[in-house]
Chain A
Amino acid sequence: MLYSLHAHAKIKSLDSSAAEKMPGVKAIEVIAGPGKTVRYHGDDIAVIVAETEEQARDASQAIKIEYEHLPHAATETQAMAENAPKIVNGGNVRKGRAQTTGNPDDGLQKADAVVEGTYFAPVITHVCLEPHGLTARWDDKNHITAWASTQSVMATANELAESNELPVTNVTVLTEVMGGGFGSKFGADIWGTTAARISKKVGGRPVKIFLDRAQEHLAGGNRPSVLAKVKIGGTKDGKITGMIAETYGTGGVARGAQFPLPYVYSLANYKREHADVFVNGGNARAMRAPGHPQGCLVMESAIDDLAAKLGVDPIAIRKSNLAPNDFRTPIYLNEMEIGAELIGWKQNYKPRGSQKGVVRRGMGLALHQWGGGGANDKQVSCTIFADGTIELKSATQDIGTAIRTVLAMIAAEVFGLKPTDIKSNIGNSTFPPGQSSGGSTTTPSMSPPCYNACLEARDEFFKKIAPGLPGNPAATDLSLVDGQLLVKGQATMSFKDACRKIGMNPISVVGKSSQGLASNGVAGVQFVDLSVDTETGVVKLHKIVAVQDSGLIIDKLTWESQVFGGVIGGLNYGLFEERVVDPISGRMLNPDMELYQLAGASDIPEIICHAYEPDDQKKRGVIGIGEPPTIGTAAAIGNAVANAIGVRVPTFPMTPMNILNALAKEGKA
């Protein structure tokens, strides 16, 4: 890809003739030609296809472009300035209507203490380990096969079909495995559709296009920034009486910076105004629990600051402000108790600012919530073959939550087999309609139809073979346990041998969803124990506890893997990640894996994942787990830092710079 190095410019001319003649170059397709405006560093200009990646890259350097530079507003500060260049029609700052409940001014009047805080977290980029992209091949003049890194094989197939004017049945999109999506990979994207077009142009040869790391940061999507000015008050018993919040955020040259606030807690009196700020920057894309980490960070910082001012215990203030009639409230109460025990709150918690010494220990917590319910219109097919093979098929894909394994486990349970005995085939757009992997919906969408398909296929299998069995048993006399067919509880033959009786036609059933197998809505609490070196501003994490409910857990191992990943993503938001944009050139200064900081192994502390799964959770059925465990981590880290050093660090991430600046401002450095 050739992309813009300028934050805002009009392309006056573009000459690719020299590039076209360079070694290995097969095709150049211009996306933004003369007359077009590029609106951020990383905006697409052209796709160059060559025999090798290096040749394509060298050719991209040989494309000559003349720009007319336009004034840019690449940072929130620039975009909100009085004389800011207008980068979109309708103004750079788009205010929504204020939400008001009760009487917030009155509420603040009645408070025993009021705190005013400003909280900021920068844009963070997606940084999937595997970048965005696909390989597209025209199999013949009417068919495309594409191997894509996507969260939706079906959406990608639709996009490729539409952009290439083919019926969608002529396009097959395959995603065997993928290296992360986190919300940023739902379609083919302009580079994907262009690659498919070029494949046709070069006689059907497969064209592989993947973004490089820099463009991945620039154009692969990001989480919007958040700037919140909050006034919050409460009474000595820890009850919040009112909150007024003014919030901003940028999702680049598009909307998308809105987030939920108030968050988790039930407030009788509040006013909230939000504005989306447009900047010359790459656009936001859904990122693991879109909106929630920002809302959590603002709400949890504010409530923690209020607790400190009131002299109320941080756990107590949270208990006092949960919604009385919400199903999540008892879950939060139990989860807070479990989490406090696991982090050692009673033994080690000290009130904010009470610590002396150079290196100070701090503890903090945060509550979060998510939906995680599934769709009810997805399907899974289950086929039993005469050789004993059981195959599941669905056009869903594994974003990392191990849906392939989960489906196999469900089938294994129904058929009395091991998960490794099941052929669990996903990631193919031509299979029965499956769920796009987003919003923690894959497992709750796909588990019910899988379960139903397996049950129906098994029952049909019983019906088919029962008449031929000795003693002529009824189908209802049959069961499957440990690879054996049981007749009235007695093992009679192996499952494999029983399958031989099916005959030529395999048994094939397409299962649909049904009520009662999945549910929606989770809580979740996280605790952090850390130390801050007050002379260097360096934070050392000691332990993170994640207590998480998610209904019925199908596979504990992959469930835990999601919680670990969520927490690590969250601690990156809390401690490390920041898209740094140069106000002068409008360019991102750290589109790499060096100065765009992410935790390494030694930055990651002990993480305790506690599955909150009492019987009443199991009865709820399946709920997704991908999103919730990443929401509260950064907020809990910010609170633990404030607890340790006695000063709120208003700016995320918790870097030595931000911490030392906060200490210096309070005269404590």
Chain B
Amino acid sequence: MKAFEYVGASSADQAVKAMSAGAVVMSGGTDLMNRMKDYVTSPSRVVNLNDAKDLAGISGDAASGVTILAGTRLADVLASDVIKKAYPALWQTTSEVGTPQIRNMASVGGNLMQHPRCWYYRSGFGLIPKSADGKHMLREGDNRYAAIFMTDGDALYAHPSSLAIPLIALGAKATLVGPDGERTVALSELYKVPTSSEDSPFMAKAGEILKSISIPAAAGKNGSYEARHKQAHDWPLVLASVNLTMSGDTVSDATVVVYGVAPVPWRSKAAEEAIKGKAVTIETAKAAGSAAAEGAKPLSMNGYKVSLLKTVVARALCVTVGNRYWEA
């Protein structure tokens, strides 16, 4: 790990003041520390947010919406009754992140702002890994975990944040604070597709830090389903969260967001359209799953993700209405 300056910030304000060119914030640190130890990220300054009291906590209720400050530990999200009851999509996904140790340390903001797990990136080849002779390493190499959408572009890794999936499905907004004050954007707008390895995968401006996430009032039903290889500590292969507005048994509006298939949290409008106006049954859910796969262009090794995507979207819809057909 390269030597760096250290600033322990006790408030968001202090943190913003401490930000300088080449500085990074540490919130939790379960991703950042590994990148620093592996020389993947070598910041000149680390601003530690872990002791910033005004960056941790959950407030609000199901009727008016909930605000989660960015430094809130995942374990505290799981301990929240409001989230468990009103936002099961978020609760379920949070419960499946990492290990108890990681959930005790990792923060919501840290999860949302983590860097891709792409093994080429973690090996030091950058977000868009190119070999000396110009080959795109992820396109031509081992891409079993890579994206199946947006693969005409150069960013082929799968977006790493599990929590972004239910939060975007729930319509969450992100509040950033920086030298020019606060601004609030849709959480989905926090992310972008980098065009080079030097480019950032985030829309945050220099010196801005993530302050909070606000989730609108709970209406309708929401749920998540993830497929993963291991039961213990593992990343999802594909994860889907859905948020349904119901009119009786019929879906009047739907948001479907998927992990593991694109370099950003992937909103599947096709799946949303497919389920709208219908009751969620195994058949309609599977049809929505198939719709979600429309336009997927898998790489050489990850065709299996197309069938996983279909299943995971269908199951997320089913879970949301209390149907776990595969366990029958």
* Cβ distance B50 to chain A, nearest Cβ, rounded Å: 21
Pick the residue among B231, B308, B326, B327 that contacts A660 (CB under 8 A): B308
A536: nearest residue on chain B (CB-CB)? B227
CA of A57 to CA of B3, assembled, Å: 12
If A595-B117, A655-B229 touch, whether A585 touches B137 (CB-CB below 8 Å) is yes
Residue among B132, B135, B142, B312 with max Cβ neighbours from chain A (10 Å): B142
In the bound complex, do residue B1 and residue A597 qualify as a contact, i.e. CB atoms below 8 Å apart? no
CA of A201 to CA of B229, assembled, Å: 49
Interface residues of A in 490-538 (CB under 8 A from B): 533, 535-538
User: Does B233 lie at the interface of the complex (its beta carbon under 8 Å from any beta carbon of A)?
Assistant: yes
In the bound complex, do residue B232 and residue A583 qualify as a contact, i.e. CB atoms below 8 Å apart? no
Interface residues of B in 79-127 (CB under 8 A from A): 99, 117, 119-120, 122-123, 125
In the complex, chain B residues whose CB is within 8 Å of the CB of A540: 231
User: Does B182 lie at the interface of the complex (its beta carbon under 8 Å from any beta carbon of A)?
Assistant: no
In the complex, chain A residues whose CB is within 8 Å of the CB of B189: none
In the complex, chain A residues whose CB is within 8 Å of the CB of B308: 536-537, 656, 660
In the complex, chain A residues whose CB is within 8 Å of the CB of B141: 582-585
In the bound complex, do residue A61 and residue B123 qualify as a contact, i.e. CB atoms below 8 Å apart? no
Residue among A58, A69, A657, A664 with max Cβ neighbours from chain B (10 Å): A657
In the bound complex, do residue B326 and residue A597 qualify as a contact, i.e. CB atoms below 8 Å apart? no
Pick the residue among A536, A581, A600 that contacts B311 (CB under 8 A): A536
CA of A590 to CA of B123, assembled, Å: 9
Query: On chain A, which size bracket covers the interface?
Result: 35 or more
Pick the residue among B140, B237, B326 that contacts A656 (CB under 8 A): B237
CA of A592 to CA of B325, assembled, Å: 36
Chain B proximity mask over A334-374: 1 for CB below 8 Å, otherwise 0: 00000000000000000000000111000000000000000
In the complex, chain B residues whose CB is within 8 Å of the CB of A576: 229-230
In the complex, chain B residues whose CB is within 8 Å of the CB of A602: 231-232
In the bound complex, do residue A599 and residue B232 qualify as a contact, i.e. CB atoms below 8 Å apart? yes
In the bound complex, do residue A599 and residue B229 qualify as a contact, i.e. CB atoms below 8 Å apart? no
In the bound complex, do residue B228 and residue A589 qualify as a contact, i.e. CB atoms below 8 Å apart? no
Interface residues of A in 562-605 (CB under 8 A from B): 576, 580-585, 587, 589-590, 592, 594-595, 597, 599-603
If A57-B1, A538-B229, A600-B230 touch, whether A587 touches B123 (CB-CB below 8 Å) is yes
User: Does B64 lie at the interface of the complex (its beta carbon under 8 Å from any beta carbon of A)?
Assistant: no
In the complex, chain A residues whose CB is within 8 Å of the CB of B144: 657
Pick the residue among A581, A597, A664 that contacts B229 (CB under 8 A): A597
Interface residues of B in 269-328 (CB under 8 A from A): 301-304, 307-308, 311-312, 315, 325-328
In the complex, chain B residues whose CB is within 8 Å of the CB of A58: 1-3
CA of A655 to CA of B117, assembled, Å: 19
In the bound complex, do residue A584 and residue B326 qualify as a contact, i.e. CB atoms below 8 Å apart? no
In the bound complex, do residue A656 and residue B232 qualify as a contact, i.e. CB atoms below 8 Å apart? no
Interface residues of A in 620-669 (CB under 8 A from B): 655-657, 660-661, 664, 669
In the bound complex, do residue A584 and residue B304 qualify as a contact, i.e. CB atoms below 8 Å apart? no
Interface residues of B in 6-62 (CB under 8 A from A): 39
User: Does B199 lie at the interface of the complex (its beta carbon under 8 Å from any beta carbon of A)?
Assistant: no
In the bound complex, do residue B39 and residue A580 qualify as a contact, i.e. CB atoms below 8 Å apart? no
User: Does A82 lie at the interface of the complex (its beta carbon under 8 Å from any beta carbon of B)?
Assistant: no
In the bound complex, do residue A538 and residue B307 qualify as a contact, i.e. CB atoms below 8 Å apart? no
* Cβ distance A364 to chain B, nearest Cβ, rounded Å: 20
Interface residues of A in 36-85 (CB under 8 A from B): 54, 57-58, 61, 69
User: Does B234 lie at the interface of the complex (its beta carbon under 8 Å from any beta carbon of A)?
Assistant: yes
In the bound complex, do residue B230 and residue A603 qualify as a contact, i.e. CB atoms below 8 Å apart? yes
In the bound complex, do residue A600 and residue B233 qualify as a contact, i.e. CB atoms below 8 Å apart? yes
In the bound complex, do residue B304 and residue A54 qualify as a contact, i.e. CB atoms below 8 Å apart? no
In the bound complex, do residue B119 and residue A590 qualify as a contact, i.e. CB atoms below 8 Å apart? yes
A657: nearest residue on chain B (CB-CB)? B304
CA of A664 to CA of B308, assembled, Å: 12
In the complex, chain A residues whose CB is within 8 Å of the CB of B302: 657
Chain B proximity mask over A8-43: 1 for CB below 8 Å, otherwise 0: 000000000000000000000000000000000000
Pick the residue among B142, B301, B307 that contacts A589 (CB under 8 A): B142
In the bound complex, do residue B232 and residue A601 qualify as a contact, i.e. CB atoms below 8 Å apart? yes
In the bound complex, do residue B123 and residue A589 qualify as a contact, i.e. CB atoms below 8 Å apart? yes
Interfacial residues, chain B to chain A (CB-CB below 8 A): 1-3, 39, 99, 117, 119-120, 122-123, 125, 131-132, 135, 137, 140-142, 144, 227-234, 237, 301-304, 307-308, 311-312, 315, 325-328
5 contacts between A and B (CB under 8 A): A54-B1, A582-B141, A589-B119, A600-B231, A600-B233
For the complex of A and B, the 9 pairs showing the least CB-CB separation, nearest first, are: A600-B232, A589-B119, A660-B304, A535-B311, A602-B231, A358-B326, A536-B227, A602-B232, A584-B141
14 further A-B contacts with Cβ under 8 Å, apart from A54-B1, A537-B304, A656-B227, are A358-B326, A358-B328, A538-B228, A580-B119, A582-B142, A589-B142, A594-B117, A595-B117, A600-B230, A657-B301, A657-B304, A660-B307, A660-B308, A664-B304
Interfacial residues, chain A to chain B (CB-CB below 8 A): 54, 57-58, 61, 69, 357-359, 533, 535-538, 540, 576, 580-585, 587, 589-590, 592, 594-595, 597, 599-603, 655-657, 660-661, 664, 669
